[in-house]
Structure 1
Amino acid sequence: MAKAVRKQALGRGLSALLKDPTNDINSVQDKNADKVIGNIVELDLSAIEMNPFQPRTNFNEESLRELASSIKELGVIQPITVRKLNFNTYQLVSGERRFRASESLGLKTIPAYIRIANDQESLEMALVENIQRQDLDPIEIALSYQRLIDEINLTQEQMSERVGKKRSTIANYLRLLKLDPIIQTGMRDGFISMGHGRAIINIEDQSTQLDIYTRILQDKMSVRDTETLVRNYNESKALEDPKAEAKAEPETPVFVKKSIQDFSDYFGHKIDIKVAKNGKGKITIPFHSEEDFNRIKKLVQSAK
């Protein structure tokens, strides 16, 4: 308990230091910067402004009330992170839920880590930290990844290293942004899961995506059922009969079957012959090198 009181008192002491204009800290080289950077400081809520780079846009009111209740009982356990803008003026980098909940309780101060960062660093810090949170919806995560690409110019490989996620995982989130906006909203509101979205994205036409989305909601389809529906649609191109099998290729005529081996023996390769329903077809002769191509060319010329 004594440790907690000492830590809190230290935070108040640092807070007083930051309010002294003669010791204003604007860079890591300034006097007393080492006492502030990396330490927990009690900051006035009124001195902190919202982060325009915040990737999170959807805040659940009930969840905020629960957090406020927890803060009322236990205090802010995990400090927020801010960056210094000017004298006694800070910008929120991460911890907006904790900030909002504390504000709703009428608290005057909040424990915070202070960072010295430029706009780009602040954006990257906010995006990376938020991506690693467990309570973001899939679209918020996807938008954060896209902003790291567009505004920080990170590649998927670099993002993989920064956020500790596989590149394939990042790619799967980014693909969700190709969904119709109505479906994206449905995912954010919890009507469908990311698994549903990953299945629907395999259909390019957005009007068809919406048809399938509507059917998922009406029939309360599972992710597996959705995957089957999409797979069957792509095979049959007909939503009316999602169980329809892909149309079978026409059977190879007998005269072609009897001749395939002769062609293969003559050219020294396995020859592929396709025949359409109207009786027309094509013969495919593979080759493996320039030398092989010239060999086949001579065989064709000698057959003239």
Structure 2
Amino acid sequence: MAKRPALGKGIGALLSSASHEGGRKYFLCPIEELKPHSRQPRKTFDDGKMAELVASIREKGVIQPLVVRQLGDHYQIIAGERRWRAAQKAGLREIPVVIQDVSEDWALEVALIENIQREDLNPIEEAEAYRNLIESFDLSQEEVAKRVGKDRSTVANALRLLRLPDVVREDVLANRMSMGHARALLSLEEEEDLLEARQQVVHKHLSVRETEALVKRIKSIVAGGRPKAKETSPDPQLVHLAGELKRALGTQVKIIPRGKGGKIEISYFNPTDLDRLLEVLKIS
């Protein structure tokens, strides 16, 4: 069995090795016959950079061929999905490709590492790509780091982001907060504290330094003990229900009893956040 090459010198090493083993074929492929890899880590594409690439392709065409493999009646993109998307927007009907006769595992590994080595990959997408490599190929963090040519600490710090609540990961994906914001929030042990801090970060557009200061204040309050209610203690059942709603919705929720009834307050910070809540609640 052929030994897999190390990838620290770039994705070209893997593709070059694959070309010797499986053969290559260049041709112009109808754009509708191409499909992205289903486990492609990149889910978001910067609109500004995409527009620049579309303009470049309209003027000069696609200079670097996509790397693909044939699957039945279509071709699966191994490397070059962004160029494929831009070519569609530019109105191209055909695009140059290189066919590689490689296995599914080989194709997945190339697709993951090709994206990890891009500078503009979102931190959450990068973390998910590392996790995919670990789970798909039974690798350690150290082995992943060697494959992608990065320090083990870089891989470890990225993977920590996957411990964030879904709503915070969505914030990072949507560029509402950076990796620096997310790493600061991760130091809060209680999810309730983390979600409350997240509210302030998003609503007040806090910088990373301001977020770190906020986290420090919250940790100081927690260390000193939370203040007790001045009057009657809240109903434990309502406190529990409010916590469950907060975790489910990813935002601040208050249940305020009044007589035999009461009200539920759900916070949101902007129209996008409201749309997210409506989607969670399945309200159209």
Q: TM-score range by the shorter chain?
A: 0.5 to 0.7
Offset, 1:50: 2.4
1:172 to 137, 157, 161: 157
1:43 to 29, 47, 51: 29
Partner of 1:154: 139
Offset, 1:238: 7.0
Offset, 1:92: 0.5
Partner of 2:123: 138
3-state SS, counterpart of residue 40 of structure 2? coil
1:209 to 178, 189, 194: 194
Alignment pair present for 1:78 and 2:99: no
| Counterpart AA for 2:190 | D
| Counterpart AA for 2:52 | E
| Structure 1 pair 219–160 and aligned structure 2 pair: CA distance change class (3 A) | same
What does residue range 281-292 of structure 1 map to in structure 2 within 5 Å? Answer: none
Contact 2:193/2:218 (8 A) holds in 1: no
Alignment pair present for 1:112 and 2:97: yes
Deviates more, 1:67-76 or 1:46-55: 46-55
Deviations 1:105-134 (A, max 9, x none): 332221223222211111111001101112
Deviates more, 1:193-202 or 1:96-105: 96-105
| Counterpart AA for 2:197 | I
Offset, 1:65: 3.1
Deviates more, 1:219-228 or 1:144-153: 219-228
Contact 1:176/1:197 (8 A) holds in 2: yes
Deviates more, 1:119-128 or 1:96-105: 96-105
Q: Give me the whole-angstrom Cα distance separating, in 2, the residues matched to 1:28 and 1:78.
A: 19
Offset, 1:63: 3.8
Q: Give the TM-score taking structure 1 as reference length.
A: 0.62
Contact 2:31/2:95 (8 A) holds in 1: yes
Percent pairwise identity: 39
Partner of 1:125: 110
1:53 to 39, 42, 45: 39
Q: Give me the whole-angstrom Cα distance separating, in 2, the residues matched to 1:94 and 1:126.
A: 6
Partner of 1:230: 215
Count of residue pairs the alignment pairs up: 208
3-state SS, counterpart of residue 237 of structure 1? helix
| Counterpart AA for 1:105 | A
| Counterpart AA for 2:149 | G
| Counterpart AA for 2:66 | I
Contact 1:233/1:239 (8 A) holds in 2: no
| Structure 1 pair 41–227 and aligned structure 2 pair: CA distance change class (3 A) | same
Q: Give me the whole-angstrom Cα distance separating, in 2, the residues matched to 1:198 and 1:168.
A: 14
Partner of 2:278: none
Offset, 1:62: 4.7
Q: Give me the whole-angstrom Cα distance separating, in 1, the residues matched to 2:168 and 2:108.
A: 27
3-state SS, counterpart of residue 54 of structure 1? coil
Partner of 2:183: 198
Higher relative contact order (CA 8 A, sep 6+): 2
| Counterpart AA for 1:116 | D
Q: Give the TM-score taking structure 2 as reference length.
A: 0.66
Q: Give me the whole-angstrom Cα distance separating, in 2, the residues matched to 1:204 and 1:104.
A: 45
Partner of 1:66: 52
Q: Give me the whole-angstrom Cα distance separating, in 2, the residues matched to 1:47 and 1:222.
A: 45
| Counterpart AA for 2:67 | T
Structure 2 unaligned regions, length at least 5 = 1-18, 227-284
| Structure 1 pair 65–29 and aligned structure 2 pair: CA distance change class (3 A) | closer
Q: Give me the whole-angstrom Cα distance separating, in 2, the residues matched to 1:118 and 1:29.
A: 11
Q: Give me the whole-angstrom Cα distance separating, in 2, the residues matched to 1:239 and 1:144.
A: 39
| Structure 1 pair 71–240 and aligned structure 2 pair: CA distance change class (3 A) | farther
Q: Give me the whole-angstrom Cα distance separating, in 2, the residues matched to 1:29 and 1:147.
A: 25
Q: Give me the whole-angstrom Cα distance separating, in 2, the residues matched to 1:73 and 1:121.
A: 34
Q: Give me the whole-angstrom Cα distance separating, in 2, the residues matched to 1:62 and 1:235.
A: 41
